[in-house]
Structure 1
């Protein structure tokens, strides 16, 4: 590895509490109310703790750029524009997704607990981040949920058989609560990798896996710069035609059914904003005639995990277990942030209006937290 790549691959290990406090401070400096800054910090740091650095604190520079462009709107709240009982339509108003999605899920949880079921259409939210966060919010209330999300007007992924970017990374997520154990949580982008993972690889001087990217001429590539430097390439859909098909349904369900919009020639945007629409279906399992649902789910998981291990495998993970293991490890050892991303965050803190002396103090504290590795 050359000196440039060696430097890029180095990272800080920052205690989660210290990182959370810094994120809060950045957004309070930018103008967020304390509760908004807290919810944003909760979500971003939790994403890093679970190993999803693509949706963690590395998003701060893009959020600050969106704010400076007049796109991200601070101190906005979920606005219920239609209440049909078991169906709620919520406008996000380009407010922080970490706030409006939290509030939309709170409304849906309350309604599903009362009625047994609630569908929530959230539209026009500024980046709602890691969707598993919202499924976990529902699971903590004992509720099943599944979520279809689109990234409106911001194509990054080539369709199956196509050679340029036409659709978003369009996540799908589902969660099933369990008694006495963490919930089962399935959460993935319908692209072969999330866009943020290409950004992380680019900052770290690493390559991306084979089959995840194509360049601007439609040729396979393992260089993340095709997503970061012009002329731009595209992400590939996960699982070929199957991932593309699911991405298309996320686009329609999340974008169209929520009352938001889908990605097409008339909706393309060229700003730093990330606009998400999400259709969430939240279900109280007690409303169904399924008294053994939890036991049956547990029996299935135990059956699957008892399979003889394939060569090179040390264990079989149920959905959500890799994140739990990562959360424990990073909670103890600190959150890794590569030096390029850390400098981008410090620059964003400056752009938010934070005094240079405060930024230097935060940076010194981070470097002394767990060191550089």
Structure 2
């Protein structure tokens, strides 16, 4: 494990992205988003992704200098075509579109297609909640890169199809309340992070093609390895996987029908993924006044924090810490710690980034560490 300062890591990430063909503004935006994910404890959506983006560019799936287009506008609704650009640029376009239209109409929606990889959806939720807007989204991978099996199956039929929601806290907390969750037991990137750290998977996370618990992340295979490899279980696992399956179905269709891109079953499931999504922003002051809502948030937070943690009741294998935390609190705490201590990166990620730096004749920031 190597620890590196966030600013130094962001500079290096920008250099690598520039070498992959991204223009200056794009490299700045994407590097900022990737390192923000690492700062907040989501290694799965941080600089670990840069080699994958390089592969996507080489295969012509991601166009590094492309710009998203707002193609359809009608009152509070809009459609953003990512045009194969970096998803972090697409996400920023969607956020700005939502902010402008919700200010005008009180509520705004955006359908997103051809977004490659939107990154950590929680980032877009945070950006809108910080403007004191509520947020809701459904995301899929437009029929490619399927890694999740429905309840009672080992056959890959979904992506991790995240659902994200955010509520502003009106200065009653130093962070917005953001729920950013896969409808599978765990996000696919968590398996990548486990493999990078040399950790086995908890038996409830994934299943082999034979129906046995899959605990070696290397046996999961790539997005495009088909059904001869394992699959991630739906949220709820063997106990309530039908609920995760239902959520995944709804996320798939909300993202597909309202985003306008293909759904699972309309593309080769072994093709590269490209995110499609439906984003919604709501101005809560259209329904109540700010002072009243601030009081509601404060009362609920006090009520939540009064819950006594029990040493015999586990929070969960993928949770941060051992006590109940509000949605978004783990990210806030981790970012505070890493601002002082630096960002830890698994050795495998360091090696991959160092190799990419050598390939593009870029100074290796990890040398000597």
Distance in 2 between residues matched to 1:188 and 1:87, nearest whole Å: 25
Deviation per CA, 1:10-52: give whole Å up to 9, x if none: x101111110000011111222111100111111111111111
2:246 aligned residue: 245
Select the residue among 121, 127, 131 that pairs with 1:141.
Answer: 131
SS of 2:136's partner is strand
Worse-matched range after superposition: 241-250 or 126-135: 241-250
SS of 1:126's partner is coil
SS of 2:275's partner is strand
Distance in 2 between residues matched to 1:67 and 1:114, nearest whole Å: 37
* Contact persistence 1:156–1:235 (CA under 8 A): yes
2:185 aligned residue: 192
Change (3 A) 1:45 1:312: farther
Worse-matched range after superposition: 119-128 or 28-37: 28-37
1:322 aligned residue: 330
Q: So what's the TM-score if we normalise by structure 1?
A: 0.89
1:159 aligned residue: 150
1:342 aligned residue: 350
2:207 aligned residue: 214
Structure with larger RCO (C-alpha < 8 A, sep 6+): 1
Deviation per CA, 1:278-315: give whole Å up to 9, x if none: 10110011111355223112211210111222126864
Change (3 A) 1:280 1:35: same
Q: What stretches of structure 2 of length at least 5 have no aligned partner? A: 314-321
Number of positions where the alignment pairs a residue of Structure 1 with one of Structure 2: 349
> How far has the Cα of 1:348 moved from its partner?
3.0
Q: So what's the TM-score if we normalise by structure 2?
A: 0.90
Distance in 1 between residues matched to 2:105 and 2:74, nearest whole Å: 12
> How far has the Cα of 1:326 moved from its partner?
0.8
Select the residue among 186, 194, 198 that pairs with 1:201.
Answer: 194
Q: List 4+ stretches of structure 1 deviating above 6 A.
A: none
Distance in 2 between residues matched to 1:296 and 1:62, nearest whole Å: 43
Distance in 2 between residues matched to 1:88 and 1:192, nearest whole Å: 32
SS of 1:125's partner is coil
RMSD of aligned alpha carbons: 1.7
> How far has the Cα of 1:219 moved from its partner?
1.9
SS of 1:359's partner is coil
1:291-330 aligned within 5 A:
291=290, 292-311=292-311, 315-330=323-338
Worse-matched range after superposition: 242-251 or 228-237: 228-237
Is 1:68 paired with 2:58? yes
Change (3 A) 1:330 1:312: farther
1:1-373 aligned within 5 A:
11-152=1-142, 153-180=144-171, 181=173, 182-228=175-221, 231-239=228-236, 240-264=241-265, 266-271=266-271, 273-289=272-288, 291=290, 292-311=292-311, 315-351=323-359, 354-355=360-361, 358-360=362-364, 362-364=365-367, 367-368=368-369
SS of 2:2's partner is strand
Distance in 1 between residues matched to 2:262 and 2:358, nearest whole Å: 34
Distance in 2 between residues matched to 1:212 and 1:319, nearest whole Å: 21
